[in-house]
Structure 1
């Protein structure tokens, strides 16, 4: 990617008003996402047909009138979506050139079994090859998810160390990583886990050098404003929030109380959308979702 385009994207992610759309459901979560969209498993045969259905859904979202940089700053893609096309262009190119939206790629390959109160990322085989391919497609950054189930200091330290280790690989390939150590919203020790997580992230941020800038994707905290100091760290481009299973209304209400977080929602963005809707109804419903998430983010 030309350095001027990269800098434009980075400035938009750092300073823009809006949110990031998470369009990165993978193999495991795709059937559920499609079912919510009115496409049940008896309506397609096999993985190829399933992924074709989800790509059609994403294409419909990306080409909708309200899906532009005016409210949507970035979009996180699944690998197959990156390799696919929207309106005759590679997806990342269509996002940036036609919509002004910064493209990201989900790179994690799922979670390990729980140990020490956390779920680490599974090994990401062929990561550097994937990152080179992403850069060639014009992808700006990546996203990688692990999950914290309880306030276990040893487990949280391990999760954060792994996140930064993968993040450094992403940085070495010229992309900006979104580190996503999610805290389960149902955790009985959510608030305590978030305190431990914040301290661990701050410690690792201080080891990054000038130019090694990252983004953070975190569960909306129990204590409002908890992550403001992370957002102010010189190595942090932006702190974004995951909805984590909250309803759209609750996620937006909680997010609105976080002055230095913007949304990176998935399910909330597509809530109420159906394949069977005519385009006028689909676009109106999507526009209303975008508007609600945007208002909570700004």
Structure 2
């Protein structure tokens, strides 16, 4: 694996990042949308087995190519899984030419000051040291309202974790999501924008990051973030928007590419034939790719 090749692809690749990092809390919902109900599995083990089958089906699909998908975010448990006899991260990079990332956050604290901070991430250094073939990480917080102190705290925590990731030789994706249903979404994004620029200004040369941000109310709000010398790429999360809505908004933001989860898997079902599944996924991939480039 060449980190330089992966870095080049992440900096300049014409495509999007697939978010395949459904974790313990989000897996039942993702499976439900995929047509797998809680009555179809009897344990966490079986539940994670079902979501791995879904991920493998996506990764093996004809349209899931490096020409359209430049990266993929994985759940920690997925690193131990295999596709065609290879560990998933190795398969993504060595076979498909797609750059693997690892979701490292352990979920969210309860809401305070209008935000949800990340829970502590125990054993992070150990996790990062074992993440073979993985280029970077992703860590998520959520902003619910335009509370200046809360947003400042979220961004500081994100950058503190990012420095640990950078020290391990990886590139962090900082994800301070703004709730798309917030009544003060635009105001929250203005505060977030300022805090991000302030924290980027405190990074030293070589301390490079990516950002994963909610599609902003004001188009192109984050252009100056994307142009910052410490930023490899700014990617967008779909945040509950439909695939069409998310793609329409993304197309208005010229310096963002997609990193969609729900919008990528919209309309997919376990019950579909491979031809039906590939057609539905291919349609989503093509829409998201067009909006990203």
- Same topology, TM > 0.5: yes
User: Is 1:82 matched with 2:79?
Assistant: yes
Rounded Cα–Cα distance in structure 2 between residues aligned with 1:103 and 1:142: 9
**Pairs aligned (count):** 293
Other-structure match for 2:105: 108
Within the candidate set 146, 168, 176, 2:163 is matched to 168
Report the equivalent of 2:201: 206
**Secondary structure of the corresponding residue to residue 213 of structure 2:** strand
Task: List structure 1 segments (4+ residues) > 3 angstroms apart after TM superposition.
Answer: none
Q: Within 1, Cα distance between the matches of 2:17 and 2:34?
A: 20
Shift of 1:284: 1.1
CA distance in 2, matches of 1:187, 1:277: 35
Per-residue CA distance 1:210-231 (angstroms, 9 max, x = gap): 1111000000000001000000
Match of residue 147 from structure 2: 152
After TM superposition, the score normalised by the length of structure 2 is 0.99
Residue 45 of structure 1: CA displacement? Answer: 0.7
- Whether 1:32 and 2:29 are equivalent positions in the alignment is yes
Match of 1:129 among 115, 126, 129: 126
Does 2:52 align with 1:45? no
- With the length of structure 1 as denominator, give the TM-score of the two structures: 0.97
SS at match of 1:75: strand
Task: Render the CA deviation track for 1:232-290: whole Å, top value 9, x for unaligned.
Answer: 00000000000011111111100000000000000111111111111111111111110
- Alpha-carbon distance between aligned partners in 1 of 2:63 and 2:242, rounded to the nearest angstrom: 22
Cα drift, residue 207 of structure 1: 1.0
**Counterpart-to-counterpart distance in 1, 2:69 and 2:168:** 25
Whole-angstrom CA distance in 2 between matches of 1:282 and 1:88? 23
Structural RMSD (CA): 0.6
1:267 aligned onto 2:243: no
In the aligned structure 2, how far is the partner of 1:269 from the partner of 1:235? 28
The equivalent of 1:282 in structure 2 is 277
Q: Give, in angstroms, the shift of residue 138 of structure 1.
A: 0.8
| 2-structure distance, mates of 1:70, 1:99 | 10
Q: Secondary structure of the equivalent of 1:121?
A: coil
The 3-state SS of whatever aligns with 1:193 is helix
Name the residue aligned to 1:18. Answer: 15
CA distance in 1, matches of 2:61, 2:31: 18
What is the alpha-carbon distance in structure 1 between the residues aligned to residue 286 and residue 199 of structure 2? 35
